[in-house]
A = this chain, B = another copy of it.
Protein backbone atom coordinates (compact mmCIF):
# COMPACT_ATOMS: atom_id res chain seq x y z
CA UNK A 1 0.00 0.00 0.00
CA UNK A 2 1.43 3.28 -1.07
CA UNK A 3 -0.42 5.40 1.51
CA UNK A 4 1.46 3.86 4.43
CA UNK A 5 4.44 5.53 6.05
CA UNK A 6 6.67 3.62 8.45
CA UNK A 7 8.44 5.71 11.08
CA UNK A 8 11.06 4.43 13.49
CA UNK A 9 12.15 6.25 16.64
CA UNK A 10 15.14 5.25 18.74
CA UNK A 11 15.61 5.15 22.49
CA UNK A 12 16.60 8.79 22.92
CA UNK A 13 13.49 9.86 20.97
CA UNK A 14 11.18 8.05 23.41
CA UNK A 15 13.19 8.50 26.60
CA UNK A 16 10.47 10.47 28.42
CA UNK A 17 6.99 11.93 28.07
CA UNK A 18 8.18 15.17 26.45
CA UNK A 19 10.13 13.30 23.79
CA UNK A 20 7.20 10.99 23.08
CA UNK A 21 5.01 14.04 22.53
CA UNK A 22 7.54 15.18 19.93
CA UNK A 23 7.31 11.73 18.33
CA UNK A 24 3.54 12.15 18.18
CA UNK A 25 4.03 15.44 16.31
CA UNK A 26 6.08 13.60 13.72
CA UNK A 27 3.37 10.95 13.41
CA UNK A 28 0.77 13.63 12.75
CA UNK A 29 2.62 14.89 9.66
CA UNK A 30 1.88 11.93 7.34
CA UNK A 31 -1.52 11.48 9.03
CA UNK A 32 -2.42 15.00 7.93
CA UNK A 33 -1.44 14.01 4.38
CA UNK A 34 -3.91 11.13 4.48
CA UNK A 35 -1.43 8.34 5.12
CA UNK A 36 -1.69 5.62 7.72
CA UNK A 37 1.35 5.41 9.98
CA UNK A 38 3.25 2.44 11.39
CA UNK A 39 5.39 3.69 14.27
CA UNK A 40 8.25 1.41 15.27
CA UNK A 41 9.72 2.20 18.69
CA UNK A 42 12.83 1.21 20.59
CA UNK A 43 13.02 0.87 24.35
CA UNK A 44 13.29 4.09 26.33
CA UNK A 45 16.95 5.12 26.55
CA UNK A 46 18.65 3.26 29.38
CA UNK A 47 15.97 0.61 29.78
CA UNK A 48 17.70 -2.13 27.77
CA UNK A 49 20.92 -1.57 29.70
CA UNK A 50 18.99 -1.68 32.98
CA UNK A 51 17.53 -5.07 32.00
CA UNK A 52 20.89 -6.41 30.82
CA UNK A 53 22.40 -5.38 34.16
CA UNK A 54 19.63 -7.30 35.97
CA UNK A 55 20.37 -10.37 33.86
CA UNK A 56 24.06 -10.11 34.69
CA UNK A 57 23.22 -9.92 38.39
CA UNK A 58 20.92 -12.95 38.18
CA UNK A 59 23.08 -15.18 36.03
CA UNK A 60 26.76 -15.49 35.11
CA UNK A 61 25.78 -16.79 31.67
CA UNK A 62 22.18 -15.78 31.04
CA UNK A 63 20.18 -18.20 28.93
CA UNK A 64 19.81 -16.54 25.53
CA UNK A 65 16.08 -17.24 25.17
CA UNK A 66 15.30 -15.90 28.64
CA UNK A 67 17.48 -12.86 28.00
CA UNK A 68 15.47 -12.04 24.87
CA UNK A 69 12.19 -12.41 26.72
CA UNK A 70 13.58 -10.14 29.42
CA UNK A 71 14.92 -7.31 27.27
CA UNK A 72 11.93 -7.35 24.91
CA UNK A 73 9.89 -5.86 27.77
CA UNK A 74 11.68 -2.56 27.08
CA UNK A 75 9.97 -2.10 23.72
CA UNK A 76 6.71 -3.50 25.10
CA UNK A 77 6.65 -0.67 27.64
CA UNK A 78 7.43 1.97 24.99
CA UNK A 79 4.67 0.92 22.61
CA UNK A 80 2.02 0.57 25.33
CA UNK A 81 2.78 4.04 26.71
CA UNK A 82 2.87 5.62 23.26
CA UNK A 83 -0.37 3.95 22.16
CA UNK A 84 -2.24 5.06 25.28
CA UNK A 85 -0.96 8.60 24.80
CA UNK A 86 -2.01 8.59 21.14
CA UNK A 87 -5.48 7.30 22.05
CA UNK A 88 -5.74 10.01 24.69
CA UNK A 89 -5.10 12.50 21.89
CA UNK A 90 -8.00 11.11 19.92
CA UNK A 91 -6.03 9.00 17.45
CA UNK A 92 -7.19 5.54 16.44
CA UNK A 93 -4.11 3.71 17.64
CA UNK A 94 -2.99 0.42 19.16
CA UNK A 95 0.27 -1.31 20.00
CA UNK A 96 1.57 -4.46 18.34
CA UNK A 97 4.16 -6.82 19.78
CA UNK A 98 6.35 -9.10 17.70
CA UNK A 99 4.23 -12.17 18.43
CA UNK A 100 0.99 -10.36 17.67
CA UNK A 101 1.79 -9.45 14.06
CA UNK A 102 3.67 -11.87 13.95
CA UNK A 103 7.21 -10.90 12.96
CA UNK A 104 8.58 -14.41 12.54
CA UNK A 105 12.32 -14.84 13.00
CA UNK A 106 14.72 -17.73 13.22
CA UNK A 107 15.73 -19.00 16.65
CA UNK A 108 19.09 -17.21 16.96
CA UNK A 109 18.32 -15.49 20.24
CA UNK A 110 19.99 -12.11 20.63
CA UNK A 111 20.72 -11.75 16.92
CA UNK A 112 17.67 -13.26 15.24
CA UNK A 113 17.00 -12.80 11.55
CA UNK A 114 13.52 -11.88 10.36
CA UNK A 115 12.04 -14.62 8.21
CA UNK A 116 8.56 -13.29 7.49
CA UNK A 117 6.09 -10.62 8.46
CA UNK A 118 2.34 -11.04 8.12
CA UNK A 119 1.65 -7.88 6.12
CA UNK A 120 -1.95 -8.97 5.49
CA UNK A 121 -2.67 -8.93 9.21
CA UNK A 122 -1.20 -5.45 9.60
CA UNK A 123 -3.24 -4.25 6.63
CA UNK A 124 -6.35 -5.77 8.21
CA UNK A 125 -5.68 -3.90 11.45
CA UNK A 126 -5.24 -0.64 9.56
CA UNK A 127 -8.95 -0.75 8.79
CA UNK A 128 -9.76 0.09 12.40
CA UNK A 129 -6.60 2.04 13.19
CA UNK A 130 -4.73 4.97 11.72
CA UNK A 131 -1.62 4.42 13.82
CA UNK A 132 -0.10 1.04 14.64
CA UNK A 133 2.65 1.16 17.23
CA UNK A 134 5.04 -1.72 16.62
CA UNK A 135 7.60 -2.92 19.15
CA UNK A 136 10.95 -2.79 17.40
CA UNK A 137 13.90 -5.13 17.98
CA UNK A 138 11.69 -8.18 18.63
CA UNK A 139 10.27 -11.16 16.82
CA UNK A 140 8.86 -14.55 17.64
CA UNK A 141 10.22 -17.88 16.49
CA UNK A 142 8.38 -21.04 15.46
CA UNK A 143 8.30 -22.23 19.06
CA UNK A 144 6.35 -19.09 20.07
CA UNK A 145 9.39 -17.80 21.95
CA UNK A 146 10.35 -14.14 21.86
CA UNK A 147 13.54 -13.29 19.98
CA UNK A 148 15.48 -10.06 19.61
CA UNK A 149 17.23 -8.85 16.49
CA UNK A 150 20.39 -7.54 18.11
CA UNK A 151 21.42 -4.00 19.00
CA UNK A 152 19.97 -1.51 16.54
CA UNK A 153 17.49 -4.13 15.44
CA UNK A 154 14.64 -1.64 15.56
CA UNK A 155 15.93 -0.08 12.32
CA UNK A 156 15.68 -3.51 10.74
CA UNK A 157 12.17 -4.01 12.17
CA UNK A 158 11.06 -0.77 10.55
CA UNK A 159 12.55 -1.50 7.14
CA UNK A 160 11.19 -5.07 7.22
CA UNK A 161 7.68 -3.87 8.07
CA UNK A 162 7.93 -1.27 5.28
CA UNK A 163 8.99 -4.01 2.86
CA UNK A 164 6.15 -6.31 3.96
CA UNK A 165 3.60 -3.52 3.40
CA UNK A 166 5.22 -2.06 0.29
CA UNK A 167 5.12 1.25 2.18
CA UNK A 168 6.02 4.35 0.24
CA UNK A 169 8.61 5.47 2.76
CA UNK A 170 10.47 4.27 5.82
CA UNK A 171 11.52 7.18 7.98
CA UNK A 172 14.27 6.51 10.52
CA UNK A 173 14.27 9.26 13.13
CA UNK A 174 17.42 9.97 15.05
CA UNK A 175 19.01 12.78 17.05
CA UNK A 176 21.05 14.10 14.11
CA UNK A 177 19.68 15.82 10.98
CA UNK A 178 20.82 13.07 8.58
CA UNK A 179 23.93 11.46 7.13
CA UNK A 180 26.92 13.77 6.75
CA UNK A 181 29.75 13.79 4.24
CA UNK A 182 32.05 13.20 7.18
CA UNK A 183 32.07 13.53 10.96
CA UNK A 184 30.96 17.13 11.72
CA UNK A 185 32.85 16.97 15.01
CA UNK A 186 36.05 16.48 13.07
CA UNK A 187 35.45 18.65 10.06
CA UNK A 188 33.50 21.89 10.21
CA UNK A 189 32.85 21.69 6.47
CA UNK A 190 30.86 18.45 6.79
CA UNK A 191 27.55 18.76 4.96
CA UNK A 192 24.32 16.84 5.21
CA UNK A 193 23.90 14.45 2.26
CA UNK A 194 20.49 14.74 0.57
CA UNK A 195 20.60 11.44 -1.31
CA UNK A 196 22.91 8.46 -0.98
CA UNK A 197 22.84 4.97 -2.48
CA UNK A 198 22.42 1.82 -0.39
CA UNK A 199 25.99 0.73 -1.20
CA UNK A 200 27.51 4.04 -0.22
CA UNK A 201 25.47 4.04 2.97
CA UNK A 202 26.71 0.53 3.74
CA UNK A 203 30.31 1.69 3.41
CA UNK A 204 29.67 4.86 5.38
CA UNK A 205 27.90 2.97 8.17
CA UNK A 206 30.57 0.31 8.48
CA UNK A 207 33.12 3.10 8.75
CA UNK A 208 31.62 4.43 11.90
CA UNK A 209 28.99 6.87 10.59
CA UNK A 210 26.59 5.15 12.94
CA UNK A 211 23.32 6.78 11.97
CA UNK A 212 21.71 3.69 10.53
CA UNK A 213 22.18 0.02 11.33
CA UNK A 214 24.08 -1.82 8.58
CA UNK A 215 21.64 -4.71 8.60
CA UNK A 216 18.70 -2.43 8.02
CA UNK A 217 20.45 -0.91 4.99
CA UNK A 218 21.11 -4.39 3.60
CA UNK A 219 17.43 -5.14 4.11
CA UNK A 220 16.37 -1.89 2.46
CA UNK A 221 18.60 -2.63 -0.51
CA UNK A 222 17.31 -6.18 -0.86
CA UNK A 223 13.63 -5.12 -0.80
CA UNK A 224 14.19 -1.72 -2.40
CA UNK A 225 12.73 0.27 0.50
CA UNK A 226 13.48 3.97 0.38
CA UNK A 227 14.79 5.09 3.76
CA UNK A 228 14.67 8.65 5.02
CA UNK A 229 17.09 9.32 7.88
CA UNK A 230 15.97 12.48 9.68
CA UNK A 231 15.80 14.29 13.00
CA UNK A 232 13.08 13.70 15.58
CA UNK A 233 13.39 17.28 16.69
CA UNK A 234 13.15 19.13 13.36
CA UNK A 235 10.84 19.27 10.34
CA UNK A 236 13.81 19.64 7.95
CA UNK A 237 14.26 16.79 5.48
CA UNK A 238 17.22 14.54 6.23
CA UNK A 239 19.03 12.05 4.02
CA UNK A 240 17.28 9.77 1.52
CA UNK A 241 18.90 6.35 1.22
CA UNK A 242 17.74 4.80 -2.00
CA UNK A 243 18.62 2.98 -5.22
CA UNK A 244 21.58 4.28 -7.10
CA UNK A 245 20.65 6.53 -10.01
CA UNK A 246 22.60 8.13 -12.85
CA UNK A 247 22.65 11.44 -11.04
CA UNK A 248 24.55 9.93 -8.17
CA UNK A 249 27.32 8.69 -10.43
CA UNK A 250 28.09 12.25 -11.45
CA UNK A 251 29.39 12.68 -7.95
CA UNK A 252 32.80 11.08 -7.49
CA UNK A 253 32.87 10.93 -3.71
CA UNK A 254 29.85 10.88 -1.41
CA UNK A 255 31.68 11.01 1.88
CA UNK A 256 34.81 10.57 3.92
CA UNK A 257 34.79 8.12 6.81
CA UNK A 258 37.30 7.01 9.40
CA UNK A 259 37.80 4.28 11.96
CA UNK A 260 40.12 4.80 14.89
CA UNK A 261 39.48 1.36 16.31
CA UNK A 262 42.25 -0.30 14.34
CA UNK A 263 45.36 -2.26 15.26
CA UNK A 264 47.90 -3.59 12.78
CA UNK A 265 49.68 -6.94 12.92
CA UNK A 266 52.48 -8.07 10.61
CA UNK A 267 53.89 -11.56 10.27
CA UNK A 268 57.37 -11.05 8.80
CA UNK A 269 59.04 -13.70 6.62
CA UNK A 270 56.22 -16.21 6.43
CA UNK A 271 56.97 -19.30 4.34
CA UNK A 272 54.95 -18.77 1.17
CA UNK A 273 53.24 -22.15 0.95
CA UNK A 274 49.68 -23.06 -0.03
CA UNK A 275 47.33 -22.85 2.94
CA UNK A 276 49.40 -20.48 5.02
CA UNK A 277 46.73 -17.76 4.88
CA UNK A 278 44.11 -20.26 5.97
CA UNK A 279 46.34 -21.23 8.90
CA UNK A 280 46.62 -17.60 9.95
CA UNK A 281 43.02 -16.48 9.61
CA UNK A 282 41.02 -19.57 10.58
CA UNK A 283 41.82 -19.42 14.31
CA UNK A 284 41.10 -15.67 14.28
CA UNK A 285 37.71 -16.21 12.64
CA UNK A 286 36.87 -18.98 15.09
CA UNK A 287 37.19 -16.44 17.90
CA UNK A 288 34.82 -14.07 16.04
CA UNK A 289 37.55 -11.46 15.70
CA UNK A 290 36.79 -9.23 12.72
CA UNK A 291 39.75 -8.82 10.40
CA UNK A 292 39.36 -5.69 8.33
CA UNK A 293 42.24 -4.97 5.92
CA UNK A 294 44.60 -7.70 4.70
CA UNK A 295 47.74 -7.16 2.60
CA UNK A 296 50.20 -9.74 1.40
CA UNK A 297 53.33 -8.71 -0.48
CA UNK A 298 54.64 -10.73 -3.41
CA UNK A 299 57.04 -13.29 -1.97
CA UNK A 300 60.84 -13.08 -2.28
CA UNK A 301 63.01 -16.18 -1.83
CA UNK A 302 60.00 -18.23 -0.79
CA UNK A 303 58.99 -15.94 2.05
CA UNK A 304 56.44 -13.13 2.33
CA UNK A 305 54.98 -10.64 4.85
CA UNK A 306 51.32 -10.74 5.82
CA UNK A 307 49.81 -7.58 7.36
CA UNK A 308 46.24 -7.22 8.63
CA UNK A 309 44.14 -5.14 11.00
CA UNK A 310 41.82 -6.11 13.85
CA UNK A 311 39.81 -4.08 16.38
CA UNK A 312 42.13 -2.74 19.06
CA UNK A 313 40.39 -4.63 21.85
CA UNK A 314 41.23 -7.88 20.08
CA UNK A 315 44.90 -7.12 19.49
CA UNK A 316 46.33 -8.94 22.52
CA UNK A 317 44.24 -12.04 21.92
CA UNK A 318 45.19 -12.06 18.24
CA UNK A 319 48.91 -11.71 19.07
CA UNK A 320 48.66 -14.71 21.40
CA UNK A 321 47.05 -16.70 18.63
CA UNK A 322 49.85 -15.75 16.26
CA UNK A 323 52.51 -16.69 18.81
CA UNK A 324 50.87 -20.09 19.08
CA UNK A 325 51.11 -20.49 15.30
CA UNK A 326 54.88 -19.88 15.27
CA UNK A 327 55.88 -23.58 15.04
CA UNK A 328 53.33 -24.29 12.33
CA UNK A 329 53.91 -21.25 10.12
CA UNK A 330 57.53 -20.46 10.83
CA UNK A 331 57.55 -16.68 10.47
CA UNK A 332 60.62 -14.62 11.37
CA UNK A 333 59.09 -11.83 13.39
CA UNK A 334 55.72 -10.67 14.76
CA UNK A 335 55.11 -6.91 14.68
CA UNK A 336 52.13 -4.93 15.87
CA UNK A 337 50.98 -1.31 16.11
CA UNK A 338 48.05 0.03 18.07
CA UNK A 339 48.47 3.63 16.94
CA UNK A 340 46.85 3.33 13.54
CA UNK A 341 43.56 4.41 12.05
CA UNK A 342 41.77 4.07 8.74
CA UNK A 343 40.45 6.87 6.54
CA UNK A 344 38.22 6.12 3.57
CA UNK A 345 36.65 7.95 0.66
CA UNK A 346 33.37 6.48 -0.55
CA UNK A 347 31.31 7.06 -3.68
CA UNK A 348 29.59 5.12 -6.45
CA UNK A 349 31.05 7.67 -8.87
CA UNK A 350 34.53 6.25 -8.22
CA UNK A 351 33.70 3.39 -10.55
CA UNK A 352 33.62 5.73 -13.54
CA UNK A 353 36.21 8.23 -12.39
CA UNK A 354 39.76 6.98 -12.39
CA UNK A 355 42.15 9.16 -10.53
CA UNK A 356 40.36 9.29 -7.18
CA UNK A 357 43.07 7.13 -5.61
CA UNK A 358 45.92 9.17 -7.07
CA UNK A 359 44.22 12.40 -5.99
CA UNK A 360 43.80 11.04 -2.44
CA UNK A 361 47.41 9.88 -2.22
CA UNK A 362 48.65 13.34 -3.39
CA UNK A 363 46.47 15.10 -0.84
CA UNK A 364 47.85 12.97 2.01
CA UNK A 365 51.42 13.34 0.76
CA UNK A 366 51.05 17.14 0.68
CA UNK A 367 50.35 16.98 4.41
CA UNK A 368 53.26 14.55 5.00
CA UNK A 369 50.89 11.78 6.05
CA UNK A 370 52.46 8.38 5.45
CA UNK A 371 50.21 5.59 4.14
CA UNK A 372 50.80 2.27 5.92
CA UNK A 373 48.29 0.09 4.07
CA UNK A 374 45.84 0.50 1.23
CA UNK A 375 42.70 -1.42 0.39
CA UNK A 376 40.16 -0.72 -2.29
CA UNK A 377 36.69 -1.77 -3.37
CA UNK A 378 34.62 -0.65 -6.30
CA UNK A 379 33.21 2.31 -4.41
CA UNK A 380 35.73 2.79 -1.62
CA UNK A 381 39.38 3.58 -1.06
CA UNK A 382 40.79 3.05 2.43
CA UNK A 383 44.21 4.05 3.75
CA UNK A 384 45.70 2.99 7.06
CA UNK A 385 47.67 5.86 8.58
CA UNK A 386 49.26 6.82 11.86
CA UNK A 387 46.54 7.49 14.40
CA UNK A 388 47.71 11.03 15.20
CA UNK A 389 47.02 12.18 11.64
CA UNK A 390 43.35 11.03 11.58
CA UNK A 391 41.70 14.44 11.92
CA UNK A 392 44.12 16.09 9.51
CA UNK A 393 43.62 13.33 6.93
CA UNK A 394 39.83 13.48 7.16
CA UNK A 395 39.81 17.27 6.74
CA UNK A 396 42.27 17.08 3.86
CA UNK A 397 40.36 14.38 1.98
CA UNK A 398 37.04 16.12 2.62
CA UNK A 399 38.44 19.39 1.29
CA UNK A 400 39.89 17.64 -1.74
CA UNK A 401 36.74 15.82 -2.81
CA UNK A 402 33.87 17.64 -1.13
CA UNK A 403 35.20 21.11 -0.39
CA UNK A 404 33.68 22.88 -3.39
CA UNK A 405 31.12 20.27 -4.00
CA UNK A 406 27.40 20.99 -3.72
CA UNK A 407 25.83 17.92 -2.15
CA UNK A 408 22.80 16.35 -3.84
| A interface residue numbers (CB < 8 A to B) | 17, 20, 51, 54-55, 57-63, 65-67, 69-70, 72-73, 76-77, 79-85, 87-88, 94-95, 97, 99-100, 144-146
Which of A55, A66, A70: most chain B CB closer than 10 A? A66
Report B-chain residues with C-beta under 8 Å of the C-beta of A67.
Answer: 80, 84
Residue of B nearest to A73 (CB): B73
Report B-chain residues with C-beta under 8 Å of the C-beta of A146.
Answer: 97
Complex formed: what's the CA distance from A61 to B77 in Å? Answer: 17
- When the two chains form the complex, which single residue of B20, B63, B72, B77 contacts A84, counting CB atoms closer than 8 Å? B63
Report B-chain residues with C-beta under 8 Å of the C-beta of A65.
Answer: 94
- When the two chains form the complex, which single residue of B54, B55, B69, B88 contacts A76, counting CB atoms closer than 8 Å? B69
- When the two chains form the complex, which single residue of B59, B77, B144 contacts A99, counting CB atoms closer than 8 Å? B144
Q: Chain A contact residues: over half helix, strand or loop, or mixed?
A: helix
Complex formed: what's the CA distance from A145 to B80 in Å? Answer: 12
Q: Which 7 A-B pairs have the closest CB atoms?
A: A70-B80, A73-B73, A59-B84, A66-B84, A66-B80, A69-B80, A59-B88
- When the two chains form the complex, which single residue of B20, B76, B99 contacts A70, counting CB atoms closer than 8 Å? B76
Residue of B nearest to A21 (CB): B58
Report B-chain residues with C-beta under 8 Å of the C-beta of A57.
Answer: 17
Report B-chain residues with C-beta under 8 Å of the C-beta of A85.
Answer: 58-59
Complex formed: what's the CA distance from A386 to B146 in Å? Answer: 56
Report B-chain residues with C-beta under 8 Å of the C-beta of A70.
Answer: 76-77, 80-81, 84
Report B-chain residues with C-beta under 8 Å of the C-beta of A73.
Answer: 73, 76-77
Given the known A-B contacts A73-B76, A77-B70, A99-B99, are A83 and B54 also in contact in the complex, defined by CB atoms under 8 Å?
A: no
Nearest CB in chain B: distance from A97 CB, A = 7
Report B-chain residues with C-beta under 8 Å of the C-beta of A84.
Answer: 55, 58-59, 62-63, 66-67, 70
Asked if A66 and B88 make an inter-chain contact with CB atoms under 8 angstroms apart, the answer reads no
Report B-chain residues with C-beta under 8 Å of the C-beta of A60.
Answer: 88
What are 29 A-B contacts defined by CB distance under 8 Å? A17-B58, A20-B58, A54-B77, A55-B84, A58-B82, A59-B81, A59-B85, A59-B88, A60-B88, A61-B88, A63-B83, A63-B94, A65-B94, A66-B80, A66-B81, A66-B83, A66-B84, A66-B94, A69-B79, A69-B80, A69-B97, A70-B76, A70-B77, A70-B80, A70-B81, A72-B76, A73-B76, A73-B77, A100-B145
